[in-house]
Amino acid sequence: MSKVFAERLTPENAVVAMIDHQTGLLVSCRDQDPHLMKANIRGLSQLAKTLELPSVITASMPEGPNGPIMPDILEILGDTVIERPGEINAWDNADFKGAIEATGRKKIIMAGIVTDVCLMFPAISAVAEGYDVYAVVDASGTWNDTVRDAAMMRMTQAGVKVTTWAAVLAELMHDWRSEKGLELGGVLAEHTSYQWVYDSFLASQNTK
Q: Measure Cα distances from 204 to 187, 194, 199, 200 in Å.
A: 19, 16, 9, 6
The secondary structure of residue 143, as a DSSP letter, is: S
Q: What are the residue ranges of helices labelled H in 33-93?
A: 34-50, 71-77
- Residue 132 has a CB neighbour count (10 Å cut-off) of 20
Strand duo 161-163 + 132-136: pairing: parallel
Q: Measure Cα distances from 67 to 14, 18, 62, 122, 178 in Å.
A: 28, 15, 5, 20, 39
Contact 18, 179 (CB under 8 A): no
Contact 112, 118 (CB under 8 A): yes
Does the annotation count 29 as an active-site position?
no
Q: How far apart are CA 140 and CA 97, in angstroms?
A: 20
Q: Which of 26, 100, 110, 118 is catalytic?
A: 118
Could you tell me how far CA 163 lies from the centroid of its own chain?
9
> Which amino acid appears at position 206 of this protein?
N
Which sequence positions are flagged as catalytic? Answer: 118
